Chain A
Amino acid sequence: MKKFTYNSTAIKNFLFERSIVIMLFIFIIVMTIIKPAFYGWDNIVNILNEMTVYGITACAMTVAIICGEFDLSASSVFAWSTVLFVSMTNKFGLVPAFLITIISGAFWGILNGWLVSKVRMSAFVATLGTMTIIKGLAFFYTDGVPINTSNTTLQAIGSFNIAGISITPIAFILVFSAFVFVLLKTKFGRKLYATGGNYEVARLAGINVTFYKFIIFVILGICAALSASLFVVRIHAGSALYGGDLALYSVAATVIGGTSLSGGNGGVTKTIVGLLVLSVLFNALTLLGIQGYFQQLIRGIVLISVIMFDASINRKR
């Protein structure tokens, strides 16, 4: 008779690798008990609709971090893209505006990619510079004044929903699926991980590391522009002041999800966990009746706790 072997090590490893998910799960259960409104369909949809706008850029930021880089200018690209999308919609209509905005996002990505991969500037310095340039351009273009659009097609798209789920989560699922496929199932994805894991070894192995260091910024620029377009679809306005927290939010979601800032590991599936942690926390604090100042304090403390716990677990393993 075959003996059943209880492999406690495998179970422990399984749990430790998913420690953030487990903590999120516990948190959701607690919130569901305390606040029945939390698991109402309207609230779930609210969380999904809100988290997926920034979520698209967070996925792209994850790719950049896997490759060992990050992009501070994502916030400014977002702001510029909201302004451009609104103004082009008012001038030329929705479809040309969308194409122009995406191309513009790609342009900023090309600039960042060139500075980092060819000019060999550090990503921090390069994107800090472009962040300032792009934001300044957005202010200059609008004279600092937020602009809006009354384009009826855009408003119709913004109002479109399936059981309350707007177009934003649908777009996010498409983008997310594409990222998962590319990272896990293609040579491109494998080479990306290799470049981030060890740049020199990847280069010596024949991988065109310059290209990968370049392309991740283009992807980020496009995704920031896409996020901005979806934001405008929801809010019908653009401003140089929007998206100020996008870059940090994307990095936070990536790190909380478990992708290391040193590069070479992680994935967008982990970033979804990070996005959920941030969005669920934000939503929970509102439902719990916490006042504004305390919300900031608690958000910071809980985030540090989650990351500290995860880092501690993984370090000891």
Chain B
Amino acid sequence: MPHINVIGGIKMKKRIVFLMATIFILSFVGACATGKAPSTTGSKKIFMSNAYYTAPYCAPLNKGVENKAKELGYTIQIVDGEGNADKQLAQFKAAVAEGYNALIYFPADQASSPPVVKYLNETGLPWIVLNTRVDPSIEDQVPCTVASDEVEIGRNIGRLAVDYLKDGGSAVYIEGAAGASYTVNVTKGLNEILKGSKIDILNDHQYSDWDPGKAMKITEDFLTKYGKDKIDLVICQDGGMFQGAISALDAVGLKGILKCVAAGNDLIIKESIIDGSLLGTSIQDPFIEGALGVTSLDKLIKGEKVDKWAVTPGGMCLKADVEKHNWF
């Protein structure tokens, strides 16, 4: 009777598993190194740490950065800062060790930005802040901030609301991430316009962390808490939140009946302006913002003068203006 070598079979399987795991890992490292290693023959390298890499707004923003960088002849790497300034600090240190020529910093929040700004200045490399402004106490230490006039965005949203509810009414308001400069400043601008108006914001701060799913849940809770008849307007800070809000309204048959105002250049915003469920938007084009960031950094790299604050073009967009803008 033939002897079946079970032990030998197990040993062979162990060796195969070992070999496979090692080859797997090495091939990944090798492929990554071959595919992504920046050129050493002259192309300058830009490194960007984006604290909100996975937020809907940041996908076209990253694209805007990448496209402009390639157009200007730079190699670009964008990494996820995961909302953690300590992680972003470590990423920048790794980038400097790797020899990157210029840096883009998209902060997680204002409060934790000072140590990162301090380090970036210590590197001696050209760098900018993109989208989210740093702590006001150290803003003068930033060579260039490329960001929207967030307060003006808030004012635009407020103007849309006041124009719609001329005789007053009740609104609910969904905000972004607590502590983010965009959230704080948009709310500031909104409150400036609503002060003295007859519009009443029913809720206290409700943060959706830029997540459409959370925004949807918040809207559903508002409808339950205040009642569908008590709310006259839904105000959203960006397109992601609007997407969540409109989904909640659609689910209860209120889409187009209970109006909204928002900010952003999302496709759903465009469609909603056209179909009338969204009154208008305050423009914040992430493609343009990303591209402007790289253009400003390019000037710094070349030693040219840049403004301390390069304002991302904005303004209001109503139904008649829809075709004039980029949507994503």
Contacts and interface: CB of A to CB of B under 8 A. Distances in A.
Contacts of B89: 50, 234-235
Given A34-B29, A234-B89, A286-B94, A240 B178 contact: yes
Interface in B89-125: 89-91, 93-99, 109-112, 114-115
Contacts of A294: 32
B36 A288 contact: yes
A148 B179 CA distance: 11
Nearest to B28: A298
Given A298-B28, A301-B28, A305-B25, A46 B36 contact: no
Interface stretch (B9-17, B191-199, B258-266): B9-17
Interface stretch (A117-125, A139-147, A173-181, A215-223): A139-147
A43 B91 CA distance: 10
A291 interface: yes
Interface stretch (A193-201, A253-261, A309-317): A309-317
Contact of A290 (B32, B82, B85, B114): B32
Contact of A288 (B24, B26, B29, B114): B29
B53 interface: yes
B22 interface: yes
Contact of A144 (B36, B90, B178): B178
A17 B14 CA distance: 14
Contacts of A309: 17-18, 21
A210 interface: no
A144 B98 contact: no
Interface string B30-48: 1011001110000000000
Interface centre among B79, B83, B89 (most CB of A within 10 A): B79
A42 B97 contact: yes
Q: Looking at chain B's contact residues, is the secondary structure mostly helix, strand, loop, or mixed?
A: helix
B83 A50 contact: no
Given A144-B179, A144-B205, A145-B179, A37 B99 contact: yes
A287 interface: yes
Interface string A281-297: 01111111111111110
Contacts of B70: none
Q: How large is the interface on B (under 10, 10 to 19, 20 to 34, 35 or more residues)?
A: 35 or more
B177 A241 contact: yes
Contacts of B29: 27, 30-31, 34, 284, 288
A98 interface: no
A89 B8 CA distance: 64
Interface in B216-241: none
Interface in B184-204: 184
A50 B90 contact: yes
A260 to B, nearest CB: 19
A176 to B, nearest CB: 20
B295 interface: no
B178 A23 contact: no
Q: Looking at chain A's contact residues, is the secondary structure mostly helix, strand, loop, or mixed?
A: helix
A237 interface: yes
Nearest to A234: B86
Contacts of B94: 43, 46, 283, 286-287
A238 B323 CA distance: 43
Contact of B36 (A31, A290, A305): A290
B115 A158 contact: yes
Contacts of A237: 85, 109, 111-112, 114
Contact of B111 (A146, A293, A312): A146
B111 A148 contact: yes
A182 interface: no
Given A284-B29, A291-B77, A292-B80, A316 B90 contact: no
A31 B114 CA distance: 32
Nearest to A34: B33
A98 B135 CA distance: 24
Given A34-B29, A241-B177, A288-B29, A46 B115 contact: no
Given A46-B90, A146-B178, A150-B137, A313 B79 contact: no
19 contacts: A30-B29, A34-B29, A34-B33, A42-B97, A50-B86, A139-B178, A145-B184, A148-B111, A234-B89, A235-B89, A237-B112, A286-B79, A289-B77, A289-B98, A292-B80, A302-B28, A305-B25, A308-B21, A309-B17
Given A50-B86, A286-B98, A302-B28, 5 more contacts: A42-B97, A148-B114, A234-B115, A239-B179, A241-B178
Per CB-CB distance, the 6 closest pairs between chain A and chain B, nearest first, are: A144-B178, A146-B111, A237-B112, A289-B36, A309-B21, A146-B179
Interface of A: 19, 23, 26-27, 30-31, 34-35, 37, 40, 42-43, 46-47, 49-50, 53, 139, 142-148, 150, 158, 231, 234-242, 244-245, 282-296, 298, 301-302, 305-306, 308-309, 312-313, 316
